[in-house]
Amino acid sequence: MFNKTSLRNFLGELPLAAELDYTLRQKNRARRDHYNLARLQKSLPHAVAQAKPFIEKAPAGKNILFFATLHYWIEQAAFLSLVLRGLGHTVTLLTLPYSEWHKEMDKLTQKQRGLHTRDALSPLSSFVHHASLLDLKPASDLPASLQSDIEEVSLWDAQYTLMREEVDMKNPGDKALYDLRVRRNTFAARAALEWIQAQKPDVVLVPNGLILEMGIVFRVARYLNIPAVTFEFNDQREQIWLAQNTSIMRQDTDYLVEARCHLPMTDAMYERLADLENARRGARVWGKSKRLWQYVSSQGADATRKMLGLDERPVVMLAANVLGDSLTLGRNIFAASMSEWITKTVRFFANRPEVQFVIRVHPGEKLVPQAKSMGTVVREALPEIPKHFHLIGALDNVNTYDLIEIADLGLAYTTTVGVETAMNGVPVISCGDTHYRGRGFTIDPNTWDEYFSTLERMLPNLRTHRLTDEQVAKAWNYAYRFFFEYPRPFPWRLVNFWDDLDVWPVEKVLGGQGQAEFGDTFRFLVGEPFTWKD
């Protein structure tokens, strides 16, 4: 059947049809497409004028490939590319003009998005080279290792999109989504491989670096042994997460531990970390964040015990993550998924009435109602919830930090609740490949047998397994480094980017104040070794 999509695909194949339609009907009109860079196009000329004096005086730097897709990443990447050029680096901004990663757009629309991107970024043309991934010649074939990477990343893409870990290849919808991601990621891998091999940049800069084409370009860079820097953002404004030669979503903190965790904590550091923890416990925002980590303030241990009907038996708390969060993708050690870990764990504790088992569904599930709830996973595993179980939903009026105070043992996959539980002297079994695993204050099984034998060993005398003072001190030290030294100062968070740009325009970032605040971070962004200012 020849429908509207077929017609637009046909027109998209005709030479110059997309360009003619864009010039006559689209170019000077307000865009109704979700992919809209009009604000970027309007603001860039002024930013370029601000950067020009710095560009003319900057010493020569590195040759950088900066890849960005999705309109919001492209907006930020344009300004970041301009600042890097103002610091002397040669920058190629390689864009992929997609707005939807989970569905196919007709060829006419996609070509016109490319034209819109070209026009929006044209003010940069004197200083930053722009190329579209869709215009690159792809490599004819791929090595086996990159083919394997495509399959892995495409599965994560499907999990991230569906907000569940089970991707059923017999389900037409799941299979279609996975196949789409394979096609797109395969093209991205071939195009990036051909370009990077030919141009040989000094550094590849990529947001996220785990999922979608961002993950693929990162994998291609590493396959070619090109240094790659990835970045993401936490809840705090004027901060950025950085990783060199690994995806930032892996939260690899080995370098941080090696460089910083042997240093002693001062009283001021303890006070700062305690202030953060008290804000979270009190359901208050902290610092330059608007995020609430809890939706109900602490009621105290005794009040929480009474509210939940807990008795004197020991308490085991399982703290779940939000399913589908990219911070949980690929983090499995002995379980095939977080859902499997929860399923087998609750079935194990169903036959352990000598303890009270509390399951804390992550409050963040409130923000992603489309995700499969961990409460649903529990109910699927145990249609009849045992009397010694207490399933606490995301919206229930229970504060996680009261549960930490009550708990005698914590079970965690990758949630930072695991660190915070250890900070309170409560032993924690770390079951996912999380950044705090193996830091000297968690119990870290590598197999199902180790996991269950550890539980069997600990449960009969649970309250004798409190952490030592040395272990608690390690937890506090690590938490301080992770919360305050792992993030780096940075002017523009992705969320609220335009508001941040008002506070930190390009001229101010490149000037004395901006470089005093953020100069080190921009050096780290182009692959210079991490350092700290004590």
Q: Is 271 found in the same domain as 213?
A: no
pLDDT for 4 equals 65
Size (the chain), residues: 534
Contact 417, 405 (CB under 8 A): no
Locate 212 and state its tokens.
């979608």
Q: Is 89 found in the same domain as 14?
A: yes
Could you tell me which residues come within 8 angstroms of residue 304 by beta carbon, excluding any fewer than 6 positions away? Answer: 310, 398, 399, 402, 403, 405, 406
Residue 496: helix, strand or coil by DSSP?
Answer: coil
Q: Is 417 found in the same domain as 319?
A: yes
Q: Is 473 found in the same domain as 401?
A: yes
Which one-letter amino acid corresponds to residue 380? E
Q: Is 399 found in the same domain as 352?
A: yes
Contact 388, 290 (CB under 8 A): no
Q: Is 394 found in the same domain as 511?
A: no
Contact 119, 91 (CB under 8 A): no
How far CA 25 is from CA of 8, 17, 20, 44, 228, in Å, comes to 15, 12, 8, 23, 40
Bridge partners (DSSP) of residue 389 are 357
Neighbours of 437 (CB within 10 A): 18
CATH number at residue 374: 3.40.50.2000
Quick check: is 158 in a domain? no
Quick check: is 174 in a domain? no
Q: Using the 8-state DSSP alphabet, how is residue 23 labeled?
A: I
Quick check: is 152 in a domain? no
| Rounded Cα–Cα distance for residues 431 and 425 (Å) | 18
pLDDT for 40 equals 96
Quick check: is 156 in a domain? no
Contact 398, 307 (CB under 8 A): yes
Locate 320 and state its tokens.
């779940």
Q: Is 388 found in the same domain as 332?
A: yes
Contact 349, 355 (CB under 8 A): yes
| Rounded Cα–Cα distance for residues 200 and 240 (Å) | 27
Quick check: is 177 in a domain? no
Domain that holds residue 250: 4-140+188-256+489-525
- Tally of structural domains, the chain: 2
| Beta strands 315-319; 239-244: pairing state | unpaired
Quick check: is 305 in a domain? yes
Q: What is the rounded radius of gyration, in angstroms, for the C-alpha atoms of the chain? A: 25
Q: Is 275 found in the same domain as 252?
A: no
Q: Is 346 found in the same domain as 430?
A: yes
Quick check: is 153 in a domain? no
Could you tell me which residues come within 8 angstroms of residue 317 by beta carbon, excluding any fewer than 6 positions away? Answer: 358, 359, 360, 403, 404, 406, 407, 409, 410, 411, 421
Q: Is 454 found in the same domain as 351?
A: yes
Could you tell me which residues come within 8 angstroms of residue 477 by beta carbon, excluding any fewer than 6 positions away? Answer: 261, 263, 265
Quick check: is 320 in a domain? yes
Cα three-residue angle 181-186-189, rounded to 5 degrees: 125
How are strands ordered across the β-sheet holding 228-232? 129-132, 90-96, 63-69, 203-207, 228-232, 239-244, 488-489
- Chain centroid offset of residue 130 CA: 26
Only one residue has tokens 């939807």, namely 100
Q: Is 494 found in the same domain as 481?
A: no
Q: Is 510 found in the same domain as 467?
A: no
Could you tell me which residues come within 8 angstroms of residue 279 by beta carbon, excluding any fewer than 6 positions away? Answer: 285, 286
pLDDT for 506 equals 98
Contact 192, 220 (CB under 8 A): yes
pLDDT for 14 equals 60
Spell out the per-residue pLDDT of the chain, length 534, in tens: 556 666 566 555 666 556 666 665 666 776 777 889 999 999 999 999 999 999 999 999 999 999 999 999 999 999 999 999 999 999 999 999 998 899 887 777 888 888 899 999 999 999 999 999 999 999 999 999 999 999 999 999 999 999 888 899 999 999 999 999 999 999 999 999 999 999 999 999 999 999 999 999 999 999 999 999 999 999 999 999 999 999 999 999 999 999 999 999 999 999 999 999 999 999 898 999 888 888 889 899 999 999 999 999 999 999 998 876 677 889 999 999 999 999 999 999 999 999 999 999 988 877 777 778 888 999 999 999 999 999 999 888 999 999 999 999 999 999 999 999 999 999 999 999 999 999 999 999 999 999 999 999 999 999 999 999 999 999 999 999 999 999 999 999 999 999 999 999 999 999 999 999 999 999 999 999 999 987
Cα three-residue angle 358-364-368, rounded to 5 degrees: 125
Residue 208 phi/psi, 5-degree rounding, is 65, -70
